[in-house]
Chain A
């Protein structure tokens, strides 16, 4: 019988489940469905422990796309493929794909993303009140390669993040080497709340006035309330940043397309790529997190949105001369979601210590991908940071993660 001494927080211990056997059938089903059991694609792996070549001065750029919590059942499974036509159909044939990239840490947003970005499992405050305790990829890159503040950015939809995601509390590192952090969805929420408080709700039904509300929320006294951190400016946005983001807002509002938080995040990311061409850019989408409110249809819609936006980001990489042929783009979910029938209400949440919650995947595209291949060896989220740091020519720091030898510098 289940008992009532329950907590609402996140699972924090490692799983003791058998990794391979429970997913064997779904793995095969997926591979068949994706048409990937083709000998030519199953290439031999690079030799073990071969260090990645340093990329210092090579201009290698990194784009990390993190897409919230999605289960294998709704993505890379036979039934899920229909939700990810671009990832499975357009990108996978060119990708280095890890079907099993596991989150063994805290399956809450701030900790999951900061673990990916630091290469160490973080156990800090779930609400982003505390910075990660070990250096982020941004700090390692900026300090070791002596690059400027405009070269590392985080653009995130997720409301559970704060600007502390951009830098750690580690001594010798910290905010002076951190990333610029922008939360476009928070801008939308602030605009909505401002309009509500100011009795201007009619504006939210008029595209031209929505643009004005968003710009108003971005400027002046509201900037601090957005939780952003751009060029260490505490009160006013840098004029170059303002101009860029205004342009993104105009594209978003007048484009005539969907208007979710992730859409605005995409437009701002694209604008930042065009204006600042950062070397390390992390994008965190979160439309899929509508699952917390219990709408399965909107959760699936969020998956389809992020599938499309990820593809559009890749198209931008291909079209933008500052990125073309020198960029590695990595796509991964923060974690899965809880299994149907769990006491934590299934797909709504991501706090069960279950395979469904920890199970994820990872896809890499571009410069670091020698040839497309599927690497069935399970990897961990924390393996990504040391691998990317190596691509950027950074000396290795102490990390719980391991280098992914299939990445080519």
Chain B
């Protein structure tokens, strides 16, 4: 078992001070991989994550040794039952081996509950000492299933099980080759939603995310604000603009043998390799976003394979880590698996098999229908999104949107088709 990690340099003074007084020695063993990794990667954390670590550590620092022993009593007892001290358990970072050891223990679920209880106490402590202003702000989740994806109006929203309401759209073309979401975000000339969120007080890039299964949406946003690539005012992630990054990771993972030691070795390499040369400018400019993508690709869930999976998982992770006030995401088209080599979906299919790719439009639509719901469900797991968040999912091929939100939301009262400019104005009023 390793010793608790040394204090990192670039932390806020109050946290630095608490750590230098031996704060980490009060933490149970199974907390150390997470906490050490977060402290070590401080510059790569989003503001919400930094606040979360600070809440936990400053709460523990505020306790007497007896109080902190009581706080961690259940976790420590479970660690003893699990035999953590006898494991080959890294305390400096979270590893696959750590995860595997924990998950195989019959006490795993008890341990998770005990950990959650500690974080809950830290949150309650923070709430009692600060006003929770950010949690009450209006938020918007805006999704698009774009035109080439065929949907059936009768069943398009079946997965949503009636939690919201369909809304008819008037989709008169507002500009040539501009998708509905492009119009809402960037406007025909100006006045798009991105302009509105940028002018909010205390707006930070991590408050606004645009996630794109292709590249046209991101290209359109960058074309409106060319300076945004070097100094992004929002986080822009495009599956296709990240081709180089993704393919480099995919190639490395493909060389991995199926055992834990080899997996940890490959993942260790991928955690350290300099990814900057593979990044488009809007990603290269922000260390936190570069590292977000690294962990996104390392955590699987199809993010290196399919554009729609990338959108869903990137959005889910954005909610978990950054709690953005506005997230826009567009789904897209994937290819059909190629004959014989379709089993090797983890590699670049065009490199493995020269047979031309064929778009799977119906299949992509089925994927997007389910994954759009998953994006909303991912947001709704967190307190910040449970009361004042509006979710609008556009389905271009059937000229409809599905709206989930607070009952007082004006869009939920609409009975007539609504034009895109009016929808944009409603949304802008809500989040500005």
Q: How far is the CA of A128 from the CA of B260 in the complex (A)?
A: 10
Fill in one digit per residue for B303-315: 1 if any A CB lies within 8 Å of its CB, else 0: 1011011001100
C-alpha gap A162/B259 in the complex (Å): 11
Point out the residues of chain B lying under 8 angstroms from A8, CB to CB.
96, 99, 103, 299-300
Residues A296 and B371 in contact in the complex (CB < 8 Å), given A13-B109, A205-B354: yes
Taking a contact as CB atoms under 8 Å apart, the answer to whether A345 and B34 are in contact is: no
- The complex places the Cα of A301 from the Cα of B367 at a distance, in Å, of 12
Q: Contact flags (1/0) for A183-209 with B, using CB distance below 8 Å?
A: 001001100110110000110110000
Contacts A13-B110, A293-B305, A297-B367; A7 near B103 (Cβ below 8 A): yes
Which residues of B are found within 8 Å of A341, using beta-carbon distances? 374, 377, 380-381
Tell me, yes or no, whether B417 is within 8 Å of chain A by CB.
no
Among A5, A10, A296, the residue within 8 A (CB) of B34 is A5
Which of A119-127, A371-379, A384-392, A396-404 faces chain B? A119-127
Minimum distance in angstroms from B45 CB to a CB of chain A: 10
Please tell me if the beta carbons of A2 and B343 are within 8 angstroms of each other in the complex. Answer: no
Tell which of B106, B120, B312, B337 touches A294, judged by Cβ atoms closer than 8 Å.
Answer: B312
* Cβ 8 A contact of A298, one of B99, B103, B299, B363: B363
Question: Are A9 and B299 within 8 A (Cβ)?
Answer: no
Q: How far apart are the CA atoms of A259 and B342 in the complex, in Å?
A: 8
Nearest-neighbor residue (CB-CB) of B34 within chain A: A5
Quote the shortest CB–CB distance from A185 to chain B (angstroms): 6
Q: Contact between B362 and A260 (Cβ–Cβ < 8 Å)?
A: no
Known: A2-B382, A296-B366. A192 touches B300 (CB 8 A): no
A297 near B364 with CB under 8 A, answer yes
| Number of A interface residues in the complex (CB < 8 A) | 58
Contact present for A292 and B301 (CB under 8 Å): yes
> From DSSP, what is the main secondary structure of chain A's interface residues?
loop
The stretch from B13-21, B283-291, B345-353, B398-406 touching chain A is B345-353
Q: Given A127-B258, A292-B300, A294-B371, is A4 in contact with B34 using a C-beta cutoff of 8 Å?
A: yes
List CB contacts (< 8 Å) of A302-342 with chain B.
340-341
What residues of chain A lie closer than 8 Å to B301, measured between beta carbons? 292-294, 345, 348-349
Residues of B within 8 A of A253 (CB): 340
A7 in contact with B102 given A201-B351, A201-B353 (CB within 8 Å): yes
Bound CA–CA A202/B320 (angstroms): 43
Chain B residues closer than 8 Å to A4, beta-carbon distance: 34, 49, 52, 320-321
Q: Judging by beta carbons under 8 Å apart, are A295 and B99 in contact? A: no
In chain A, positions 247-294 with a C-beta closer than 8 Å to chain B are 253, 259-261, 290, 292-294
> Cβ of B34: which chain A residues have Cβ within 8 Å of it?
4-5
The yes or no answer to A147 lying at the interface (CB within 8 A) is no
A261 to B345, CA, bound (A): 12
Q: A7-B102, A201-B352, A259-B339 are in contact. Are A293 and B345 (CB under 8 A)?
A: yes
Q: Is A99 an interface residue (CB 8 A)?
A: no
Q: Tell me which residues across on chain A come within 8 A of B73, comparing CB atoms.
A: none
Interface mask (A1-18 → B, CB under 8 Å = 1, otherwise 0): 111110111111100000
Please determine whether B353 and A106 come into contact, CB atoms closer than 8 angstroms. no
Q: How far is the CA of A11 from the CA of B109 in the complex (A)?
A: 7
Residues in A with CB closer than 8 Å to B102 are 7, 9
- Judging by beta carbons under 8 Å apart, are A13 and B260 in contact? no
| A204 adjacent to B100 (CB under 8 Å) | no
- A193 CB to closest chain B CB (Å) equals 8
A129 interfacial by beta-carbon distance below 8 Å: yes
> Across the interface, do B99 and A127 meet the contact criterion of CB distance under 8 Å?
no
Q: Which residues of B contact A1 (CB under 8 A)?
A: 119-120, 123, 382-383
Q: Which chain A positions have C-beta within 8 A of B366?
A: 296-297, 300
Question: Could you tell me the distance in whole angstroms from the C-beta of A332 to the nearest C-beta in chain B?
Answer: 23
Which residues 87-120 of B have a CB within 8 angstroms of A?
Answer: 94, 96, 98-110, 115-116, 119-120
Contact B352–A204 (Cβ < 8 Å): yes
* A294 and B104 in contact, given A7-B98, A189-B343, A202-B354 (Cβ under 8 angstroms): no
Taking a contact as CB atoms under 8 Å apart, the answer to whether A293 and B104 are in contact is no
Contact of B159 with A by CB under 8 A: yes
Knowing A201-B352, A295-B309 are in contact, say whether A261-B105 is a contact too (CB < 8 A). no
Complex Cα–Cα for A172 and B384 (A): 59
Inter-chain contact A295/B341, CB cutoff 8 Å: no
A301, closest chain B residue (CB): B363
* Closest Cβ neighbor of A121 among chain B residues: B106
Tell me if B's interface is mostly helix, strand, loop or mixed. Answer: helix
| B96 and A343 contact, CB distance less than 8 A | no
Which of A15-44 touch B at CB < 8 Å? Answer: none
Contact across chains for B362 and A297 when beta carbons are under 8 A apart: yes
Cβ-defined partner of A3 (8 Å) among B96, B116, B340, B364: B116
- In angstroms, Cα B365 to Cα A301, docked, is 14
Q: Are B258 and A159 in contact (CB under 8 A)?
A: yes
| Contact A196–B352 (Cβ < 8 Å) | yes
Cα distance, A5 to B115, chains bound together (Å): 8
Instruction: Tell me the bound Cα distance from A259 to B309 in angstroms.
Output: 23
How many Å lie between the Cα of A88 and that of B111 in the bound state?
Answer: 40
Q: Is the CB of B120 within 8 A of A346?
A: no
**Which of chain A's residues have a CB closer than 8 A to the CB of B100?**
9, 125-126
Q: How far is the CA of A311 from the CA of B373 in the complex (A)?
A: 33
B421 close to A (CB within 8 Å) = no
Neighbouring A residues of B364 by C-beta, 8 Å:
297
Query: Smallest distance from the beta carbon of A192 to chain B beta carbons, Å?
Result: 5
- A345 pairs with B345, CB closer than 8 A: no
Q: Quick one: given A8-B99, A201-B354, are A297 and B363 in contact (CB under 8 Å)?
A: yes
**Alpha-carbon separation in the docked complex, A196 to B344 (Å):** 11
With a CB–CB cut-off of 8 A, which chain A residues contact B305?
Answer: 293-294
With an 8 A cutoff between CB atoms, is A409 at the interface? no
Q: Is the CB of B309 within 8 A of A185?
A: no
- Give the docked Cα–Cα distance between A202 and B31 (Å): 51
The answer to whether B334 has its CB under 8 Å from any CB of chain A is yes
The answer to whether A340 touches B109 (Cβ under 8 A) is: no
Residue pair A192, B119 in contact (C-beta under 8 Å) = no
Q: Does A356 contact B (CB under 8 A)?
A: no
Q: How far is the CB of A80 from chain B (nearest CB, A)?
A: 13
A142 in the interface (beta carbon within 8 A): no
Checking A201, A301, A348, A353 against B302 with a beta-carbon cut-off of 8 angstroms, the contacting residue is A348
6 A-B interface contacts by CB (under 8 A): A3-B116, A12-B105, A295-B302, A298-B363, A345-B312, A346-B377
- Beyond A1-B383, A340-B374, list 7 extra A-B contacts (CB 8 Å): A11-B109, A159-B258, A185-B343, A192-B343, A260-B342, A294-B305, A340-B377
Using CB atoms and an 8 Å cutoff, list the residues of chain B in contact with chain A: 30-31, 34, 49, 52, 94, 96, 98-110, 115-116, 119-120, 123, 159, 258-260, 299-303, 305-306, 308-309, 312-313, 316, 320-321, 334, 337-345, 347, 351-355, 360, 362-367, 369-371, 373-374, 377, 380-383
